[in-house]
Chains A and B, each alone.
Chain A
Amino acid sequence: MSTLSTPAGAPPAQRRAPVRPARVLLHVFLAGTALAWLAPLLWAVFSALRPYGETSAKGYVSWPDTLTLDNFTNAFEQSDMLHYFGNTLLIAVPAVLLTLFLSSMVAFYVSRFDFRLNLALLLVFTAGNLLPQQVIITPLYRMYLLTDLPGITASGKLYDSALGLVLIHVAFQSGFCAFVLSNYMRSLPHELTEAALVDGASAWRLYWQITLPLCKPAMAALATLLSIWIYNDFFWALVLISTGDNMPITSALNNLSGQYFTDPNLVAAGALLTAIPTLIVYFLLQRQFVSGLTLGSAKG
């Protein structure tokens, strides 16, 4: 029976090779799981799109009569969200640039010059980056309170200032970046800098004009990653900033939700609004983000 049917059945089956039951099942499974994964976010979007009056009358799980963006505009305007986005920008941009600048210098030094210390140095940086933030927060908080900077920051201290947040972000993140960049730089041929050095180039030129331009892909990946991490930071600002007005957006969300977002629909809209910048960066620079994450996955 089988010997008879095979010659007739096999050729068309081969031509239609893509349709395999296992594959179809896999797609059904993956699509279902992906949808389930998005469900909490979709639920937030759905709640945010409905007027509060309607949901309180009909319940949250009900067919929507009206879908509007009013909650988004209200959440954005009532809480003056733009101001907090501005705060974030003021912290994140210098922090990302400074982290990349400082950590690339350390990486350059560690990967190109064998002064006894280099392994220890890298070890210190990497280990520091893996510590939970709460390990250092109590003394850090006191240090920030005791550091007087009259005239430099609005608060007159490191505490409650954008400068203080930039510094701790830079100090904390530079460990991870130095580690990743030094690995990257070590994969660059040594002859390159060696030759330039023989030609009389200074150490600074070696770094700035020869090594850095070759590190662009790694720097791009790290920049993407750092932007999202610093944007998403909640803890540093929660403890090191006391004036609500000085908070970056992610930490401000906590205060705003009590003050302005008086119903769940507004909370949903407000929370989603804070996610939008990260989502834009992620969708535009997905490859950089993922490669950065896997390239130094020693990061928590």
Chain B
Amino acid sequence: MATDTPMKSPEAAAVPPPRRASGTGRDRQGHQRLLTRRDRITLGLMAGVPTLLHVALVWVTAIASVLLAFTTWDGIGFDSITWVGLQNFTQLFQDNPQFWPAVQHNVVWFVVLILVPTPLGLFLAVQLDKRIRFSRVYQTAFFLPVVISMACIGFVWQLVYNPDTGLINSIIGANEPGHYIDWIGDPDLNLWAVLVAASWRHTGYMMILYLAGLKSVDPSLREASALDGANEWQTFRSVIFPTLRPTNTVVLVVTIIEALRAFDLVFVFNKGAQGTELLSILVTNNIIGESSRIGYGSAIAVVLLVISLIVIIPYLIATFRKERRA
């Protein structure tokens, strides 16, 4: 996805294609040869300072999470760190009643996002790609939830789900005592309720990604397919959808990451109470909660890290390999 950016530089068009080669080996070496000592120092700083900041705050801490997961620490002096081996993990897997539900909810979160809002976003994108009138107006409506903060979305949906005053219960008459449907508190319902809100947002996001993908589909493919007598569905299934492969990869990765990152919405909605536990919520509660256990919290983070890396690493390898070829 990153390689076929919709924004083309004006210069790229002006230069004849064969010479546009984005820096052959010789070019780059030419760049290097002309550098003065001062230039080298400047360049070192230009690359070094941001890298240092990023590595210190993101990677050092990620690695620290891994290391701390095998220790206990009171957080005060470094000498109080003691190695406990796998103890945090065994406690987490065996004794924590919230852990497996949280894993399960993260999985459900992903499955729902990929099965409902993703195809819906694709469907809307295909419809809006038909050069119809008011396309922009529709797009704006579907995309609006993506712009608003997750926290705000949480509050807005609380107003919809509130058992006493909410839209749903007011309409179906479930706000009378005895008929209560507690969308927010009932552990059998609240995950689905919050997933409706998450899907509401995710649809617009997927629609935009697919719209960008569809824009890059060669129109002559569609014409050829029409000439061959294929109907709309056949054209989509056998011609358009296969060419959307790069977009599908991005969509899959984005959806998995979203499912792992899900936090704000649930935290605002019901603080991750029973029924809506997520790994991200467990990590956070361990920090801001009463009894912060650093090693234990890190162990949960490591689970999250491992799952993320299983997704991130193959994706990045594929992306960068493609880039090197380009």
User: Residues of B with Cβ closer than 8 Å to A?
Assistant: 1-3, 5-9, 11-12, 14-15, 19-23, 25, 27-32, 34-36, 38-40, 42-43, 46-47, 49-51, 53-62, 64-65, 68, 75, 124, 127-128, 130, 132-134, 137-138, 140-145, 147-152, 155-160, 162, 165-167, 170-171, 197, 200, 203-204, 208-209, 211-212, 250, 253-254, 257-258, 260-261, 263-264, 267-268, 279-280, 283-284, 286-288, 294, 297-298, 301, 304-305, 308-309, 312-313, 315-316, 319-320, 323-324
Contacts of B12 on A, CB cut-off 8 Å? 187-189
Contact A184 B316 (CB under 8 A): no
Query: Max chain B CB contacts within 10 Å: which of A27, A126, A131?
Result: A131
A-B interface, 6 closest residue pairs, ranked by CB to CB distance from nearest: A300-B257, A232-B149, A294-B212, A139-B64, A114-B28, A271-B155
Q: Which of A44, A136, A191, A298 contacts B61 (CB 8 A)?
A: A136
Asked whether any CB of chain B lies closer than 8 Å to the CB of A163, the reply is no
- Closest approach, in angstroms, between the C-beta of B81 and any C-beta of chain A? 11
Given the known A-B contacts A134-B280, A290-B208, A296-B2, are A61 and B22 also in contact in the complex, defined by CB atoms under 8 Å?
A: no
Report whether over half of chain B's contact residues are helix, strand or loop; otherwise say mixed: helix
- Closest approach, in angstroms, between the C-beta of A99 and any C-beta of chain B? 9
Asked whether any CB of chain B lies closer than 8 Å to the CB of A1, the reply is no
Give the residues from 179 to 206 in chain A that come closer than 8 angstroms, CB to CB, to chain B: 179-180, 183-184, 186-194, 197-198, 202-204
Asked whether any CB of chain B lies closer than 8 Å to the CB of A93, the reply is no
Range of interface residues on chain A?
A: 35 or more
Binary interface profile of A, 50-67, with partner B (CB < 8 Å = 1, else 0)?
Answer: 000001000111000000
28 contacts between A and B (CB under 8 A): A30-B124, A38-B144, A47-B159, A106-B46, A119-B320, A134-B301, A138-B298, A139-B60, A143-B64, A145-B75, A171-B53, A174-B54, A183-B323, A184-B7, A191-B15, A197-B31, A203-B40, A214-B9, A221-B7, A234-B267, A238-B267, A239-B284, A278-B148, A278-B149, A286-B140, A294-B209, A296-B2, A300-B261
Contacts of A110 on B, CB cut-off 8 Å? 47
Q: Which of B132, B167, B261, B320 contacts A132 (CB 8 A)?
A: B261
Which residue from chain A places its CB closest to the CB of B133 in the assembled complex? A27
Contact B54 A132 (CB under 8 A): no
User: Residues of A with Cβ closer than 8 Å to B?
Assistant: 23, 26-27, 29-31, 33-35, 37-38, 40-41, 43-44, 47, 55, 59-61, 102-103, 105-106, 108-115, 119, 121-143, 145, 167-168, 170-172, 174-175, 178-180, 183-184, 186-194, 197-198, 202-204, 207, 214, 217-218, 221, 228, 231-235, 238-239, 250-251, 253-254, 257, 264, 267-268, 270-272, 274-275, 278-279, 282, 286, 289-291, 293-300
